Structure 1
Amino acid sequence: MAQDLRQFLALLEARGQLRRITAAVDPELELAAVADRVLAMGGPGLVFENVIGSPWPVAINLLGTVERVVWAMGMEQPEELERLGERLASLQQLQPPKRPKELVAMGGLLWDVLRARPDRDLLPPCQQVVLEGEAVNLDALPLLRPWPGDGGFIVNLGLVVTRDPETGVPNVGVYRLQRQSQRTMTVHWLSVRGGARHLRKAEAMGKPLEVAIAVGVHPLLILAAATPIPVHLSEWFFAGLYGGKGVRLARCRTVDLEVPAQSEIVLEGQIHPGERQADGPFGDHMGFYGGIEDSPLIRLKAVTHRRRPTFLATFSGRPPKEEAMLAIALNRIYTPILRQQIPDVKDFFLPMDALSYKLAVIAIDKAYAGQARRAAMAFWGVLPQFTYTKFVVVVDETINVRDPRQVLWAVSAKVDPQRDVLVIADSPFDSLDFASERIGLGGRMAIDATTKVGPERRHDWGRALGRDKATEARITERWSELGLDDVGRTSPDPVLFGYGMENLLARLGRL
């Protein structure tokens, strides 16, 4: 696995998926506007080499298509993501082998675990230049201000590293950070995130929380940090499993934390108990500006970086955006894990057009009355991230959850709102969701769009239409005879007729 951002840039360039821009571009509004238009067209990743106000280049849109996300994982086809998910699911619930074949498979999994262990780099590239104390100056970094109503300049694609003050287990998350002064930043994280949990513990103990921010890492590490994993596991370990090789880490200079040794830039600091400062507003993934919130203040102690580092950036907004492409890939990886944790679930999908987490479509093998509600409740509880999913639509496993035509048919044909809709009021909710009556507290809805069985129905349902396989096969064989070769032998292209914009954009990225 390549762990270096520069190697990934070289890969994209070799495959014609990177454009270097030498014209001067302003990081305030202009750079993000250019990147947004290119991304919407399914265009290449960009490196702006002449950013006004900073000597350092900015890389953006590197993960702007599903295809490039797959490459970042060291793969070539999206289908390989689910196979990776199957390996991860096996590791989460290892079972004693009962047959020789299972023993061989377990041996392979254990080898994956051994290879995934992080390693230490004693001469890390990320510390080729070290600036401490008064020498720290955020104004030297090419921070972006993407939207005209934004409250300041931001870091949006850095790995934020903290450590549980009780257990010592690190957490790695991707959170937005706002510049407050030359040596201070605020961090915006939701209350369920690992960093927020660590801060609550540290403040209860009266201790500062140490923080390190790694900017400009290989995108695979960003994917690992964005993966919903159990609290007790390390994102470094998951990154090693993703890449088939342990992450090389370096100990920070002024805080007791470890960061990827090949990071382009590392910011080191502390959050002191009770220190907060106004953060925002900022354009967010909901398609609106978020509000102004008092957020934890990081006091920076050091900045280390490689010689002539590249600043890796992104920005949020209404899909399609890079974060939506990441979510599509994570959906494929996490499907086997979800099947394992909720056996009722056969498939699930988080549509990009529903912000990649606000609406989930779940397919189950319907066996008994009430099963759809049970599956929806289990989904909301399986991971903290899914507590922010407003709508869960449960369908039969015969429905393709990635085809909106089939899902809409199931909702329209199989749902009686007075029987099949479950609404839960006043549950903890996403503070960025302005549709809620009260910020941070909202409702959620489950829709049972499955075929009704047993006591769920009081009359016979109609029999579903369908043709036998023999008839369909005969028609396929006669297609040329019927003079229809130019129409095609198969059903309409699922990319254009049902699988959503994300696949269409992925296809555009390959043209």
Structure 2
Amino acid sequence: MRDFVARLHERGDLMVVDKEVDPFHELAAVTHAAQKRWGKPILFTNVKGTKFPVVTNVYGSRERLAEVIGIDATDFCRQWSNLANLGQGSGEPFVKVEDEQLIECKLSDLPLITYSDRDAAPYFTSAMFIAKDPETGVGNLSYHRSMFVNDNELRCRLAPRHHLTMYHEKAEKMGQPLEAAMLIGAPATSFLTAAAPLPYDVDELEVAARLKGSPLPMRKCRHIDLEVPAETEIVIEGRFLPNERRLEGPFGEFMGYYVPEGPNAVFEVLGVTVRPNAMFHSILCGSSEEVLTLELSVSANIFQRLSAALPGILNVTCQPFVNHAIVQIDPQFEGHARQVMLATIGAEPIWAKIITVVDADVDIYDMDDVMWATLTRCRPDKDMLIIPETPSFYRDEQKDHWGRLLVDATKPFGREKEFERKKIRLADKIKLSDWFGTE
């Protein structure tokens, strides 16, 4: 991550703030306002109460995420669908190194950032956990919010069906704690693979190494029996206590609401190591840096599964939020769009609350264009389908996200010529500066 941030700085894409900022709500407020205005990454060099600079919004755009793995920003689904295969590549993905320059510190020495108004405490939002299946030894990377309690304890949200949750439950059945490390400022490719829809038996860190194109330097932890990427800025080592749940929350999460206080996993902190001149990576929950990664993960999963079952799947995105899937197709037969919509529910049973299918001439990254297709090509009584009483989002006790809306916004089959989009000749050749003196 350090190299990527340096590259952004060199080309003028990093906003640097030297004025002192308070991590108690002020840093989040400045981040929120700046992201809405400019969308650029920000480096706070003077954070009250800590010596560590804070960098945020590093991966907050589709273009920057694409740059990390060297692809075109519009080709994410296809590329991410190949991640599992990349993980099966030949050659050793890791190289072991010694790092004698690491500095030990306390958890409270790090930036303790309070984000939303009603958050119960400071939270670590960017940390990806690395752990191993207690039975198979396969490694996993995943994100989980962690509430600061004291130098020795964090309380972490382990959601149902996440791989780390399964590891923790397996360890509990054995009557053992689960060792894990929290990586803050990990190598850029691991940031992507931690959210990728990879199979249970695929090691995300191996995939990160394949994407890097060279073996990933790994070092031993000092307090637990795990290895971590040596380029990680900050590593928090510890273990999840078996059969122990303590109150965590409330916390302002990505959907824009507060998750109430509830019992969650307890992470015992055994040590914190940092690189010299380490920077702390912060993610504002609900911002593009968090939600975009989830959207890309869900989109890639849908694309991969649909492509395996049906022809004519061109692209998938989730816009303007992760629970609206937009599928772009090349219609092959009458009813093709309806098959795609129904298959999408099976491909993504958690997030695909609303599904819209469009033609190749619609820009799926532009919601105005998607709505235009819906308003001009979709007949509500025929092309919209409501499937009632169908669960989706897993944390939904009140069933607020039950039910599905399917929208066929493709051209009526067999009448494609009638729905040919008009074009303005020369529109793509006009330079406004030739006519008005300014772009």
Counterpart in the other structure of 1:376: 341
Closer/same/farther in 2, CA of residues 277 and 428 from structure 1, 3 Å limit: farther
Alpha carbons of 1:162 and 1:419: their partners in 2 closer, same or farther (altered >3 Å)? same
Retained in 1: the 8 A contact 2:179–2:224?
yes
User: Would the alpha carbon gap of residues 8 and 485 (structure 1) be closer, same or farther in structure 2, given more than 3 Å must change?
Assistant: closer
| CA deviation after TM superposition for structure 1 residue 260, in Å | 1.0
Residues 414 and 42 (structure 1), Cα distance of their counterparts in 2 relative to 1, 3 Å cut? same
Q: Counterpart in 1 of 2:73?
A: 78
CA displacement at 1:476 relative to structure 2 = 3.6
Name the Cα RMSD after superposition.
3.5
Summarize deviations over 1:114-149 as a string: whole Å, max 9, x none: 35x431323036x71246xxxxx3211112101221
Q: Can you list the C-alpha shifts for 1:232-278, whole angstroms capped at 9, x where unaligned? A: 21111221232222322223222222211111111111112221111
Structure 1's unaligned 5+ residue stretches are 93-108, 132-136, 454-459, 489-510
Counterpart position of 1:358: 323
- Answering whether residue 17 of structure 2 is matched by residue 41 of structure 1, we say no
What residue in structure 2 maps to residue 180 of structure 1? Answer: 149
| Alpha-carbon distance in 1 for matches of 2:328, 2:33 | 35
Number of aligned pairs?
A: 434
Pairing 1:402–2:397 present: no
332-341 vs 188-197, which deviates more? 332-341
Structure 1 segment 418-497 matched on structure 2, within 5 A: 420-431=384-395, 437-438=398-399, 442-450=402-410, 464-466=418-420, 476=425
TM-score by length of 2: 0.86
Q: Give the residue type in structure 1 aligned to 2:323.
A: K
Q: How does 1:151-230 map to 2 (within 5 A)?
A: 151-230=120-199
Give the C-alpha shift of residue 80 in structure 1.
6.1
Structure 1 position 14, deviation (Å): 0.7
- Tell me the secondary structure at the aligned position of residue 12 of structure 1: helix
Taking the TM superposition and a 5 Å limit, the aligned residue runs for 1:244-259 are: 244-259=213-228
> Counterpart in 1 of 2:289?
322
For 2:253 and 2:281, how far apart are their aligned partners in 1?
18
**Equivalent residues of 1:70, 1:329 under 8 A apart:** no
Per-residue displacement from partner, 1:397-418 (whole Å, max 9, x unpaired)?
Answer: 5544334344334434433447
CA gap of 1:34–1:84, structure 2 versus 1, over 3 A, is same
Instruction: Return closer, same or farther for 1:113/1:311 CA change in 2, 3 Å cut-off.
Output: same
**Distance change (3 Å), C-alpha of 1:42 and 1:418:** same
Which residue of the partner structure matches residue 94 of structure 2?
119
Match of 1:129 among 89, 97, 103: 103
Aligned with 2:246 (options 277, 294, 311): 277
Contact 1:339/1:347 (8 A) holds in 2? no
Shift in Å at residue 299 of structure 1? 0.8
The answer to whether the 8 A contact 1:73-1:220 is kept is: yes
Deviations 1:204-247, CA, capped at 9 Å, x for gaps: 33222222111122332211111122222111122123222232
Output the amino acid matched with 2:189: L
CA distance in 2, matches of 1:266, 1:176: 15
For residue 235 of structure 2, give the secondary structure of its aligned residue in structure 1: strand
Q: Secondary structure at 1:148's aligned position in 2? A: coil
Amino acid at match of 1:253: R
Seen in structure 2, the aligned counterparts of structure 1 residues 414 and 49 have a Cα distance that, compared at 3 Å, is closer
Q: TM-score, normalised by structure 1?
A: 0.75
Q: Describe the shift of the 1:323–1:251 C-alpha distance in structure 2 as closer, same or farther (beyond 3 A).
A: same
Name which of 382, 385, 389 aligns with 2:352: 389
**Structure (1 or 2) with the greater helix fraction:** 1
Q: Find the aligned partners of 2:308 and 2:94 in 1 and give their Cα distance.
A: 30
Larger radius of gyration between Structure 1 and Structure 2: 1
In the aligned structure 2, how far is the partner of 1:290 from the partner of 1:341? Answer: 36
Amino acid in the other structure paired with 2:97: L
Aligned to 2:436: none
1:17 has 2:2 as partner: no
Provide the rounded CA distance (Å) in 1 between the counterparts of 2:411 and 2:263: 48
Q: Which structure ranks higher in relative contact order (CA pairs < 8 Å, sequence separation ≥ 6)?
A: 1
Instruction: Check 1:337–1:30 CA distance in 2 against 1; reply closer, same or farther (3 A cut).
Output: same
Aligned amino acid, residue 350 of structure 1: T
Is contact 1:224–1:242 with CA below 8 Å preserved after alignment?
A: no
User: Equivalent residue of 1:427, what SS?
Assistant: coil
The one-letter amino acid of 1:128's match is L
1:338-353 map, 5 Å? 338=305, 340-344=307-311, 346-353=313-320
